[in-house]
Chains A and B, each alone.
Chain A
Amino acid sequence: MATPVSVLRLPKGPDPNSRGFDPKSPRFIALCRTSISSSAASEADPEQLQREQHARSVLRENFLRCLLSMSNKKVQFHMHEKVKVEATFGASDIDVLNFQVSDLHTPIGVQKEALIRCQDVISVTFDV
């Protein structure tokens, strides 16, 4: 009777909380350039890089605070194809691919719950 080949462990499955591509992996660190092309890490001097990083974290923090302060407020979405709709903002998903909204007012009626695709959105307006 043949013995089955032993395995160390099973292959790791997807992480339910993220889309992966671990930025701490050696391959990512070696191959991934920073997203703003003006700051190719090897060319920029460390001081400029630090300033840019600081600016980036400030911008990111502002963005996240905006998302937080929008929750449960009435917001207006300006979208492609001259679409303007109003809804009550709920939340964003982690990769900012979808916004969860309630009471979405559309030309064909009010949608109680909806997901707005972020790539279709040009801008969001709300009163602070």
Chain B
Amino acid sequence: MAMRQTPLTCSGHTRPVVDLAFSGITPYGYFLISACKDGKPMLRQGDTGDWIGTFLGHKGAVWGATLNTDATKAATAAADFTAKVWDAVSGDEVLSLAHKHIVKTVSFTQDSNCLLTGGNDKLLRIYDLSNPEAAPQEIAGHTSAIKKALWCNNDKQILSAADDKTIRLWNRSSMEEVKTLTFDTSVSSMEYVADGEIVVITYGKTIAFYNALSLELIKTVEAPAPINSASLHPDKDFFVAGGEDFKLYKFDYSTKEELESYKGHFGPVHCVRFSPDGELYASGSEDGTLRLWQTAVGKTYGLWKCVLPELGGSAANILPDTTGHLQTSVDGVHALMEDLGAENSEQLYTPTPEIKA
């Protein structure tokens, strides 16, 4: 029986969601952080989208957000000229790192000891988090605002994308530029896949895949609309992309074929990322929401539940799912909102009021 995708909408933000990141898989599951122009980045449980907490303290739009692998630390980059490091368990602000201009991107090394930042002052900065008072190392070179900066090659190198239409690869030890990729148009996003050393780059309607070590082009794929962000599945069988036409696209990585497209967002999609287990992907949009989408539509996972067809869709036989979230009784099933998949469905609940800080 064909199943139609039911995205899960995470509300709570009041302005566009511009960045999102997943943690690794921890003993408590995996987590998702979202950066929003309302200045209040939020932490959510990765497989359900349940809100865990809001990091309060920034005084301007938050442009970038990231979690360390075990989700004990979070870092955010904001328009208030600071990058902040947070305790992602208690929600407390741990460090505030002053910059000379809007900070756009933050990235932890794998051991969480160093933080890479980049922004409108065109400099890459490396902070030693065990010695935060010390001045950061600075790498200059870009001629316009840096949009995204990531560690790669086992934290030995740095990849940075800027509005100067270049992507540059730097050696951390020498702080020198190793290679540069120049494009005709501004790069909209960059994602690094450590396993396989692949960089996913989007610009215009193109999603391009490069070798992260040599910056050699692997392949490019054209989408039907301008793309703002793309993410490659951990198994490298598909990738997803979203952009200006509000839709999410799913492509086969090997054949480059467009497999599916999903409507749901009410505004351009700014960021899209696969979860660390590849079971779902999250998208953040201008409409202020995050949506979670299933990779294998119809599979029981997180809040999605598989309904066996021979029971007339009543779900009387509830299957235990791998995450242990299935707790509703048979009667409770009738209260499920079956029409969540409708493309133009109105909001099924009113968003909770903004947190007063």
Stretch from B106-114, B150-158, B233-241, B332-340 forming part of the interface with A: B332-340
Of the listed residues A13, A31, A97, the one surrounded by the most CB atoms of chain B closer than 10 A to its CB is A13
**Bound complex: CA A74 to CA B161 (Å):** 53
Given contacts A5-B306, A11-B10, A13-B10, 17 further A-B pairs with CB under 8 A are A2-B1, A4-B4, A4-B6, A5-B6, A5-B297, A6-B315, A7-B6, A8-B305, A10-B349, A11-B9, A16-B355, A19-B54, A19-B357, A20-B51, A21-B52, A25-B52, A31-B72
Chain A: which residue is nearest B321 at the CB level?
A8
Residues of B within 8 A of A13 (CB): 10-12, 51, 351-352
- Interface size (A, Cβ < 8 Å)? 31
Stretch from B41-49, B75-83, B178-186, B222-230 forming part of the interface with A: B41-49
| Interface mask (B313-357 → A, CB under 8 Å = 1, otherwise 0) | 101000000000111100001001111111000001101111111
B140 close to chain A: CB less than 8 A: no
Check B51 against A3 for contact (C-beta < 8 Å). no
Residues of A within 8 A of B353 (CB): 16
Q: Interface on chain B toward A: helix, strand, loop, or mixed SS?
A: loop
**Bound complex: CA A12 to CA B302 (Å):** 13
**Bound complex: CA A97 to CA B93 (Å):** 12
Q: Chain B contact residues (Cβ within 8 angstroms of A): what range?
A: 35 or more
| Interface mask (A21-57 → B, CB under 8 Å = 1, otherwise 0) | 1110111100110000000000000000000000000
Chain A: which residue is nearest B318 at the CB level?
A8
List 17 A-B residue pairs with CB atoms under 8 Å apart, sorted by A's residue number. A2-B4, A3-B4, A3-B307, A4-B340, A5-B294, A6-B6, A6-B333, A7-B8, A11-B44, A11-B303, A12-B48, A13-B352, A14-B51, A20-B54, A32-B90, A95-B56, A98-B357
